[in-house]
Copies of this chain bind each other. A is one copy, B any other.
Amino acid sequence: MVSGKPTAKRRRNRTIELGIPSDLGWERAAMDVAASVARCMGFPADRIEDIKTAVAEATLNAIEHGNSLDASQRVLIVLVPEGEKLEINVRDRSSTPFPPAEAVGAPSLEDKLTGLSNTRGWGTFLIRSLVDEVEFTSTSEGNLVRMVIHLEP
């Protein structure tokens, strides 16, 4: 189903695109599509779980932070299967850029347990931990999380 060298056009044609409203809950649809694409590509079961969680967290952030739960704004999930790797882009229409990387370093569980910081703040950390490559880009169009997962680790 997925083979050969991707040219720009081929690449565009082989993408799977999902658009959802910015309502909590629809991230489940994104997880399910990502899982079925990963399954088609032959990812092992434990990697599919990693992909589902990473996509869920990125989509949740796009719904919640990027589009501020404004259901009239949409989140676009673009999956690009390319033989040995799967690229997943999650795009929102945020007018606020991602916080700088330093601001979202590894959260301290100790601080959370002692009340020094909010119990939330795990999404970005989990994404980083579960995928092979991740890139956060902010443009005037919105924010984009680009994740790549390799078939062979």
Contact = CB atoms under 8 A, between A and B. Distances in A.
Interface of A: 1, 9, 13-21, 23-26, 28-29, 31-33, 35-37, 39-40, 71-72, 74
Contacts of A72: 9, 13
Nearest to A40: B25
Given A1-B25, A26-B40, A71 B14 contact: yes
A21 to B, nearest CB: 5
B21 A19 contact: no
Contacts of A1: 23-26
Copy count, this protein chain: 2
A33 to B, nearest CB: 5
Contacts of A71: 13-14
A19 B71 CA distance: 20
B35 A39 contact: no
Given A1-B23, A23-B1, A29 B16 contact: yes
A26 to B, nearest CB: 7
A36 B29 contact: yes
B21 A14 contact: yes
